[in-house]
Structure 1
Amino acid sequence: MLVKNIFMELRSRLRSCNVYITTNVDFKKECNLKISIQSDCIVLNYYDNEDTLKRRDSLSSIESLSDYSEEESDITCMIPIQDFCFIIPNSMSCLKIEKNTISFRVLTEPKNGGNFYAEYISVETENKEIKVEKMNVNLKTESDVKFLCANCSNIISDNFVKFDRILELPSTNLDMSEWFCHGHGHGHGHTSQKDVLKPKKLDFLHRLTFFVVNNNILSEKVNKFNSKRTVYHCNRCLAWLGLKNKDTVKLYNADIKILDNNIEKHVFSHNNSIDDVSADDFIYTIESMTREFNLGLQYTMMCKIVLECTMSATKKQYLLIWVMDRELQVLRNIENKNENDKVMLQSSFLTKILYKIESEMNDEVETWLSDPTVVSTDISKSMFCKGIDHLEHMSLKIPECFRYTNGYCISYLKA
């Protein structure tokens, strides 16, 4: 099979499609390849012959890199695309062939009527919202539970705990003075969120993928071990569990388990999991913050997010994320489902982002954090590491020469 992997970014509103094809052939400088752009498919013809002819530049409907006919080709591969869109045959541009990759851009016709210059757009298309997977809370007020270190199962709670209240916290980027109808004895709206949201002993306050509890529910041994620490660690295996603030502790879902009826489980679970709790939590955090930021602004603003990871009392790492496309339709080849010389495609929707890792506070990080349009939150060490691994893996979907722009790396959320 000529084609190894196909990845297409289909932007129906812009009527364009970026095509990235990885092949099993290491193309030479003067390769014999013909790319035929038809309205319902893309056809590749490869000629494995040493009597090569020089590549000719062309932007026609057929990108002819060889003077051979289709009948003479050694390998032919067809990529049907009519199930998703129709291509304008004379629209190929930005052709680039490097090593074993082929990339180019084509224009598309709308499938729901009209043409490239005029189109019928339904109301449902205009009101499209970001789809955030539902997160399940596996904790009830009537449950007696113990808190465990997810790494070594060390019990960190003070025996069993039964919470009186389980409440969801508002966004950390809201003005907390607007969350209450009166001051609660804290002044006139100048109190910080940490003071306002100080949990009582049997309060369980949660948001995104972390929860805040009073440290009185945690064992004296673990509290004593962390008395002089900013980062809350397991006293047995030293695993990173959360962050401490006076008499409250912010714990993270991926690093903590609860023991409920002799069953160990995480507090939060996701319906569509990728089999890694930290990566699931990482994706959910970004999608939720993007949706909160863009409510009512889906097509007017791009969201910028700073994810902060506290490594120690004096050291933090930062992940700068710029959400470019929140519902980008991508077409990929279905593995192990090829019909003769045809490569079958499947459609899914991903979030396309630019990201950059900063190991310390610098001018760029400071500029982002001081920008009122940028949202930020703390994440756990495991989420930070697993999240970066996920982004690096997803960036492999496109050729290396297209993965970087202006110092940022291009990647996608979800698998």
Structure 2
Amino acid sequence: MKIENILIEHFPRLKCANFFILFDQNFADVSSVRVHLRSMEIFVHFDNTHSTTIDLELLNINIQINSLSLLIAKDNLISFRINTASSFREEILPINVATTDVDTMKRLKLNVCTDMEFSIVCDNCSGPLTNLLRFRRILELPSENMDSNDWFCHKPDVRLCNGGNGSSSHHHQQLFNATSLIPNENDLLYGNFFALIHRSHIVNIHINSKHRMLHCKRCLSHIGECVSESAVKFWNGNVKFIQNIDAKISNRLFHDSNSLFQNFLIIVDRLTYDYRMLGRQTLKLLFEANTVKGTTFLFIQTMARNLELYQMNKQSNLNRATMMRVDGIKCLFLSEENTDPTLVNFWQKDVNVISAYISIGMLDATVEHLHILSKYVPEQFRINNGFCLSYLSKGIIINK
């Protein structure tokens, strides 16, 4: 029996830490498990024959050895709380922190640029979904929580719209809707891991007339949505692009596309950053994803953003486990296909709720990840009014 992973929540101001230790076997397979505390180490003994040491030196946590409480051992999880010896006689708070990394994270980077010739293909079968594309402008859409009327830079070039004279303002207004930000034929507009293009470019696509969903005609995979009579939306995780100069190379439209869940975390950071810029400290996030069966919702209520969170280092051996710091958000979440409409309406009317649309693939991947990470928390502490406790973190790893 060995430790699969360890998660530690440290609350220095409360002078306590929560420990969650996951094992690769059920406790029914061993006769005894004992936990011994020292100031900088924790010893876990199995059947009096094997022990694993959890090294806390890198965490700078001094634990009080007689303060263990809330000990729970069930299935393959041990959890407990201990008090820590922390002092706040002197504390240094960072000021004027460089924002380079933050700003970089907030900007979405595309793998395509203006005047590049490329076509968009289905991620599942590589079937072509568009004609050969070449855009004069590639612009980011405003956040769904911002006023799009202020984004005047997205209006088409009047000279290009009117044969170079720019005299017909009526014609200009017909070609561009400042409220809906519909692209013209020469524009590619993009948002949180989706791209909007003019409908005239698409080929080999079936449009569901009832739900306005886009499906590849070759394999029937869901690839996007029909936004209006003149614009379609492609989800980054469902399509790829191929350059005309080298048809063998295919990439995602967006540069940071490691996984759907990591892209979701970037969206969360971007949305909360927008609301902080507006002077709000939001605690609730509401995500919607459209399917042929209807709309699926994901409710997330954040509990702790700047949490000192640690997990077992991947380089740890069987006898000694070292810890490393990971970034994460502690939260409550709820996602059901048949969501209570009363709850949806209540959240949608709450001014402190951030709302956004994502792809159904991203929503499913996020819910799966949240359910996996919820296994760290004992069942009696996990559920609250139908919501489940979990973590939003790309650093925490657990076997499915």
TM, length-normalised to structure 2? 0.80
Q: Does residue 1:258 correspond to 2:233, yes or no? A: no
> Contact between 1:133 and 1:270, CA under 8 Å: does it hold in 2?
no
The residue number in structure 2 matching 1:303 is 283
Partner residue of 1:82 out of 31, 53, 57: 57
The residue number in structure 1 matching 2:42 is 42
Structure 1 CA distance for aligned equivalents of residues 99 and 381 of structure 2: 28
> Contact between 1:254 and 1:281, CA under 8 Å: does it hold in 2?
no
- Of 262-271 and 86-95, the range deviating more from structure 2: 86-95
> Contact between 2:148 and 2:181, CA under 8 Å: does it hold in 1?
no
> Contact between 2:77 and 2:376, CA under 8 Å: does it hold in 1?
no
Letter of the structure 1 residue corresponding to residue 145 of structure 2:
N
- Of 371-380 and 346-355, the range deviating more from structure 2: 346-355
* Structure 1 segment 400-411 matched on structure 2, within 5 A: 400-411=379-390
Letter of the structure 2 residue corresponding to residue 374 of structure 1:
V
Structure 1 residues 282, 15: CA separation in 2 closer, same or farther (over 3 Å shift)? same
* Structure 1 segment 351-370 matched on structure 2, within 5 A: 351-360=329-338, 362-370=341-349
The residue number in structure 2 matching 1:396 is 375
* Structure 1 segment 100-139 matched on structure 2, within 5 A: 100-110=76-86, 115=87, 117-124=88-95, 132=105, 135-139=108-112
The residue number in structure 1 matching 2:161 is none
Deviation readout 1:210-230 (Å, 9 max, x if unpaired): 1211112223x537x556651
The residue number in structure 2 matching 1:387 is 366
The residue number in structure 1 matching 2:147 is 175
> Contact between 1:7 and 1:398, CA under 8 Å: does it hold in 2?
no
The residue number in structure 1 matching 2:213 is 231
Structure 1 residues 241, 3: CA separation in 2 closer, same or farther (over 3 Å shift)? closer
Structure 2 CA distance for aligned equivalents of residues 25 and 228 of structure 1: 49
Report deviation, 1:308: 0.8
SS at match of 2:9: strand
Report deviation, 1:146: 0.8
> Contact between 2:58 and 2:324, CA under 8 Å: does it hold in 1?
no
Structure 2 CA distance for aligned equivalents of residues 401 and 289 of structure 1: 32
SS at match of 2:89: coil
* Structure 1 segment 87-102 matched on structure 2, within 5 A: 87-89=62-64, 90-102=66-78
Unaligned runs of 5+ in 1: 49-72, 187-191
Structure 1 residues 34, 133: CA separation in 2 closer, same or farther (over 3 Å shift)? farther
Q: Does residue 1:323 correspond to 2:302, yes or no? A: yes
Structure 1 CA distance for aligned equivalents of residues 386 and 178 of structure 2: 35
Letter of the structure 2 residue corresponding to residue 388 of structure 1:
V
The residue number in structure 1 matching 2:197 is 213
SS at match of 2:317: strand
TM, length-normalised to structure 1? 0.77
Deviation readout 1:30-57 (Å, 9 max, x if unpaired): x7654333221122345x4xxxxxxxxx
**Percent of aligned pairs with the same residue?**
28
Partner residue of 1:286 out of 245, 265, 268: 268
Structure 1 CA distance for aligned equivalents of residues 108 and 147 of structure 2: 25
Deviation readout 1:367-397 (Å, 9 max, x if unpaired): 1111121111111122122222222233334
Deviation readout 1:70-94 (Å, 9 max, x if unpaired): xxx5443321202112234143322
Unaligned runs of 5+ in 2: 157-168, 171-175, 396-400
Structure 2 CA distance for aligned equivalents of residues 77 and 228 of structure 1: 58
Partner residue of 1:198 out of 182, 187, 196: 182
> Contact between 1:130 and 1:291, CA under 8 Å: does it hold in 2?
no
Report deviation, 1:325: 2.6
The residue number in structure 1 matching 2:394 is 414
Q: RMSD across aligned C-alpha pairs, in angstroms?
A: 3.4
Structure 1 residues 126, 405: CA separation in 2 closer, same or farther (over 3 Å shift)? farther
Structure 2 CA distance for aligned equivalents of residues 4 and 214 of structure 1: 50
Structure 2 CA distance for aligned equivalents of residues 302 and 105 of structure 1: 29
Deviation readout 1:122-171 (Å, 9 max, x if unpaired): 224999999547643101002011111112112121x2111011111111
